[in-house]
Amino acid sequence: MSAEEAVIFLRPPPRRYKSHAKTKAKAQITSLVRQAAADTKDLKDPLHGLHLILALPEAGSAVPLTLSDEWQGALCCALIGNQPTSSSWRSPFASTSSVAAESDEESPWPMPKLEHTLFDKWITLPEAQDIPSEVAQVLHEYRAVIPDTLHKGLTPKRPHDHHILFVPGKLPAKSAIYRMTPDQLIFHKQEIAKLSDSGWIGPTYSPIRSHTIMVDKRDDGSGERKMRMVVNYQALNALTIAPHLPLPPIQTILELLGGAKYFSTLDFEAGFHLIRMAREDRWKTAFRSVLGLFEYRVMPFGLNGAPTTFPANINAYLQPLLGKGVIAYLDDVLIYSSDLSGHASLLRQVLSIFLRHQFYPKFRNCKLARQIITYLGYTVSATGIKPAEDKIAAIRQWPEVLENETQVRQFLGTINYCGMFMRPDYADVARPLVDLTRKDVSFKWTELHTQAVRQLKQRLIDFTTLQVPDTTKPFELYTDASGYALGAVLEQDGKPIGFLSQAMSPTQQRYSIYDKELLALVTALDKWSPLLRVSK
């Protein structure tokens, strides 16, 4: 473009803008955009977000253009002049900073020698002395996967970046900046500086602006006040179509643990931040701060669909081992085996995969080579499965007199989570409470309901430990039916594997006693058919 053309193009329009001039300007802009697209079509990544077409007078010699750091990865400059259009041509005027930004998007974390002082200190503590020597040897061998701190910069490329899909035609409203106390403002500035230094956030310009709040962290025993920043993505989540990850039933997962004696669980350091945000969706994570407008380059906490993206990546990495001594459920990774040598071998394979892909577990939250472990709300061991202590403690705290229908539903929901440990007459005992939740029944609390709450709490406290099923041995199935409910027990070697208790519908309650007994048998066979089909 010549100097005269640039002056005409940048000149503000007259007050009375004629239609033919407007059409001519549109044609000129369209021509420039088409030429820019032709000159940049060989770029490795497509252009996303906001773009800028910069018109400059023709220069007699090369004029270097430098893009500031905050624009790297967000701005691509196409220079249009008298150069011939070619798919292999790239402007020599562009600074190498744009190339660095592009390579930063593709290159993994660097592999310098990280510090492992925290691990070296932890492995000598009394809490780590119970780890068997075979497993401790694996930890020393793969201590590089347990660094003191994570690398700075954008995380490595994962199988699945996190995407944000909006409901068509919808955008969340802009949010105002919440006022902060002086103490909160200090922590807020520190958090912004930390995230920026890590390369996890960067400045942006976006029509979406979620607000931030500062909340206190739980006391770690030091007595020092600590806070963390939380971005309120409620408005964004309300207009987001979240991806769906089918999860296997917890009962099916627990059945896989049959015959296992050693268990390990792995947790991850800032797990969500190990996943990238898709480049075209980063502007949607923008949040307001007194320091400016920022967007996340990695997946933040609080996004709708984030709990699905994280396990999708773990499943992709551990796919060859899933169901063969390794279980991945959401953000929990469980390793189980019947002997110690096999357990050490599985742990070595898992840590090798995570080291290769730079997925770093947080060792302080890991449980290694335990014979009793809490997983998915249950306590699992070689002797069987029982409710976790915190679940039982939560039920003990419930009052015996409930005030409204909402509390009744919450209590029944808590009981149902552990209902698999209660005898087959559980549905009969809970029937008075279930009736209170019916739409055609007015809420009126009586002594009968108090007795039902008391009995249910006591039955759960006096729970029965369930045996983990062994499909190589035969099963025994017992069923029964009453006037209002049916029940069943599945046993192996005289020990219960599971209980079934289910209330009958009004239609089923009118069945004959023979049909009720048959209904109990059919329901039990349907519930445990995966086990009974493979039983010898």
Q: Mark whether 289 and 150 lie in a shared domain.
A: yes
- Supply the CATH number for residue 518's domain: 3.10.20.370
* Domain-located, residue 112: no
Closest of 291, 173, 169 to residue 232, by C-alpha: 173
The answer to whether the beta carbons of residues 136 and 250 sit under 8 Å apart is no
Rounded to whole angstroms, how far apart are CA atoms 157 and 164?
18
Q: Mark whether 190 and 224 lie in a shared domain.
A: yes
**pTM to 2 decimal places:** 0.69
Rounded to whole angstroms, how far apart are CA atoms 443 and 403?
9
Answer with the one of 382, 416, 445 that is the final residue of a domain.
382
Q: Mark whether 30 and 127 lie in a shared domain.
A: no
**Per-residue tokens: 200:** 């996890």
How many folded domains does the chain comprise?
3
Q: Mark whether 329 and 423 lie in a shared domain.
A: no
Q: Give burial (CB, 10 Å; 0-12/13-18/19+) of 461.
A: exposed
Q: Mark whether 223 and 371 lie in a shared domain.
A: yes
Q: Mark whether 89 and 196 lie in a shared domain.
A: no
On the CB side of 519, CA atoms within 13 Å amount to: 22
* Tens of pLDDT, residue by residue, the chain (536 residues): 455 554 554 555 555 544 455 555 556 666 766 776 666 566 554 444 444 555 444 444 444 444 444 343 333 343 334 444 333 333 333 333 333 344 455 555 555 556 777 778 877 877 778 888 899 899 888 888 887 777 777 888 899 999 999 988 888 877 778 888 888 999 999 999 999 988 899 999 888 889 898 988 876 666 778 888 999 999 999 999 888 888 888 888 888 887 889 999 988 756 788 899 999 999 999 998 888 899 999 999 889 888 889 889 999 999 999 989 999 888 889 999 999 999 999 999 999 999 888 888 877 778 889 999 888 888 888 888 888 888 888 888 888 888 888 999 988 888 877 777 777 777 888 888 988 888 888 888 999 999 989 888 887 777 778 888 887 888 999 999 988 889 899 998 888 888 888 888 889 999 999 999 999 999 999 988 888 887 66
Rounded to whole angstroms, how far apart are CA atoms 434 and 431?
5
In sequence order, the β-bridge partners of residue 466 are 385
Domain range spanning residue 15? 3-106
* Domain-located, residue 111: no
- Supply the CATH number for residue 177's domain: 3.10.10.10
> ∠232-235-236 over CA atoms, to 5°?
85
Rounded to whole angstroms, how far apart are CA atoms 197 and 442?
59
Answer with the one of 382, 411, 428 that is the final residue of a domain.
382
Q: Mark whether 376 and 396 lie in a shared domain.
A: no
Answer with the one of 350, 366, 382 that is the final residue of a domain.
382
